[in-house]
A and B are shown apart, each in its own frame.
Chain A
Amino acid sequence: MAWVLVSLVPAFAWGVYIFGFRALLVVGIAVISAVLTEGLLNIAFGRPNSLGDLSAIVTGVLIGFNMPAQISLFIPAVASIFAIAVVKWSFGGLGANWMNPAMAGRVFVFYSWGAEMTHFTIPRTLIVDATSGATPLETVKSNLLSLTMGGPPGELAGGPMELLEKSGFPGSYFDLWIGRMAGSLGEVSALLLILGAIILTVKRILNWEIPLAYIGSFAFLIWLFDGIQYGNGAFGGDVLFHLLTGGLMLGALYMATDLVTTPLTKPGRIIFGLGCGLLTFVIRRFGSLAEGVSLAIIFMNILVPLIDRFVKPKRYGIQL
């Protein structure tokens, strides 16, 4: 768990750099709430102290990563309390929860305070006339929705990057790579998240099956279908844009790989990853929300017992 925290440091440092001190505050509040909740529950129910496994801190950090930097400070606190007390503790603590606590905490506050959760800080390194706005993914989504409702189809020609250009977002793929865009404070830098994941893979903490199946299947579906709505036909989706924006990297590398809430076997984990990719695509393409990562992962978390029931290792000496 300590290595998970270490691997999150670069992305966190980047978030603090572009969104300012407030990012530090949000993550700090989330971590403190998570730790206090678990500590107090331990004391109240006479359970042994479980803070040493650092899992509460990881949950807190991941919840903080999923917040816009300028959010009201009680929201990360509520998300952490819900994640630890309801999702994790009430099912028996570490190892017994069936849903990723951080993800559930985020979704809980997302549907409770939707406006706050979609009000993002514009990085201070970008020179624009606003301090807050929508993420690139949201901008594209709302443009797409309004254009397909009324406008002539000709205006759609191009792709998400062209749409962004028209909406006044001065960005390039490079900005998306390093994370110079509005978004949740820990999710923006794909590059640094991948760096962290490489550290974990080298330390043999991260399973490669889920990120690979998740990102791979999602990229394939985007490439295959996403171009259609821009009039580019099949096999013309902007894969890079979709991989670098929104919570995909944070979700695929850190949320979907939570050991507790993923299948036990390698084939099971691949199915889990494929399901996440498919659902994320479906939600992003057809849903009214711009973002589908957290719901996709939560839905697949629910399917884990089922996957484990049907995808088992082939036993020695048992003829089927």
Chain B
Amino acid sequence: MSRYQTFSRGGIRPPDAKYSTSKIGIKTCPLPDVAIVPFLQHIGTQARPTVKLNDRVNEGQLIGEPSSLISAAIHSPVAGIVSEFRSIFLPMGIKTDAAVIKRDRNIHSPIKHEENHDWQSLEIEELLEILKWKGVVGQGGATFPSHIKFSIPKGHDCEVFLINACECEPYLSADHRLILESTEQIMEGIKIVQKLLNPKRVVIGIEANKQDAIEMLTAAGTAREVEVVHLKAKYPQGAEKNLIEAILGYEVPSGKLPLEVGVINSNVGTLFSVYEALVRNKPVVERVLTVAGGAIAHPANVRARVGSPVSSLIEECDGFREEPVKLVMGGPMMGFAFNNLDTPVIKGTSGILALTGNEVNTSATTPCISCGRCVGVCPMGLSPTTIFKQIEHERFDEATKYGLEDCVLCGACSYVCPAHIPLVSAFRAGRGRKRRLAARRKK
């Protein structure tokens, strides 16, 4: 296998802007005085609350249980009183109920750390059950509940367990830091998932812009027969379908899951959570995320509690250097803009960006001149401009024919568009509108 593989179609190389945070150690944020904990932090149905108003809760106590097959448990990040239930909107436009927990310093109940919990002796079903009740979800962005993802349906085999350490979004370096500071824990997480999936190969895909992490993973992986594949830094390498093609050379059929070709994907952050849940008996109540952007005084990676308001993280980074023009939850390419500084961190939050005018494209949209740049960069081999024009004319069947559903929403097309057309937003909106129209037609 040659060094520096990459995916074959399209892709872009935005300035990676990771230097401001990737060299500094992860800071731990103090516990928030008020935590806003959404019951829907994952793909699937909202967790069913198990606490009532004015209940006293301990740190790490279950406050929401999985309400259906695809759902995840939610825990209290701090010890305190459930002071309010409210309905909030997350930046990605999802409406959810949330518990507001006022921290009470008199309740002393730190999470019990059962070091080196003996997971080896447990059966696969027992391990999955623990993942379920510790609320482990994918931390790469999709937040799919891990206990579902890691249980292989009958008739399928996992050939390759593919670990995504690309972190191809600009600015973000949380996964990078996590690898550097917790290599052994991640390796232990891999071992646990290996037991669950029994794959023939375990491969870590990592981009060449993280040399120090490549060295650490290679050193730790060699003895454990974990392959480390170096990839050329190119966006969106971390999109699972593109990562599979980049590393394994084959494609996931349109509309199918990676398991169709025998692959299960996971992000390094998720593996760390798996380790925490099974070895240290800790529920997912905190995560590492990048707080960066030109408007942040001292950008850094922070370990913050789920439910912490964004404002507390920014304070931890010494506040704003200048007034931000745009706040983004996630990476600059696929993240979501938001305005409210009380917005809570959730399990899937990979970063908080406060961007200045120089970092944000504020140019006005002009007509499409069919230059074809979007076609050239699309990692899925689509023609974004064609799909856009179909959506513009409400021709959703045509748009689907041209691949609307295959779009991975990576935003490479919007990034290069010289006419500044918000292509990817149009696709997201187009999918929603298409569903609503279809639902209406059924009635």
Which residues of A line the B interface, CB within 8 A?
Answer: 53, 93-96, 259-266, 269, 308, 312-319
Contact = CB atoms under 8 A, between A and B. Distances in A.
- Nearest 6 A-B pairs (CB), nearest first? A264-B372, A95-B367, A317-B254, A315-B381, A259-B371, A313-B381
Contacts of A259: 369-372
A96 B372 CA distance: 14
A312 to B, nearest CB: 7
Given A93-B367, A317-B254, 6 more contacts: A94-B369, A259-B372, A315-B254, A316-B381, A317-B253, A317-B255
B383 to A, nearest CB: 6
In this complex, the interface size class of chain B, counting residues with CB under 8 Å from chain A, is 20 to 34
B256, B376, B379: which has the most chain A beta carbons within 10 Å? Answer: B376
Given A314-B9, A316-B251, A96 B382 contact: no
Contacts of B368: 95
Contacts of A262: 370
B256 A317 contact: yes
Contacts of B406: 315-318
**A94, A96, A312, A317 — most chain B CB neighbours (10 Å):** A317
A265 B370 contact: no
Contacts of B253: 317-319
Contact of A317 (B252, B370, B386): B252
Interface string B374-412: 011011111101100000000000000001001000000
A195 B213 CA distance: 46
Interface string B222-247: 00000000000000000001100100
B254 A318 contact: yes
A53 B376 CA distance: 23
A292 B239 CA distance: 48
B250 to A, nearest CB: 10
B370 A264 contact: yes
B106 interface: no
Contact of B375 (A260, A313, A317): A313
Given A263-B372, A264-B385, A315 B366 contact: no
Interface string B37-62: 00000000000000000000000000
A312 B386 CA distance: 11
B376 to A, nearest CB: 7
A265 B386 CA distance: 12
Nearest to A53: B366
B9 A316 contact: yes
A265 B375 contact: yes
Given A316-B245, A317-B252, A264 B375 contact: yes
Given A264-B372, A264-B385, A316 B380 contact: yes
A315 B367 contact: no
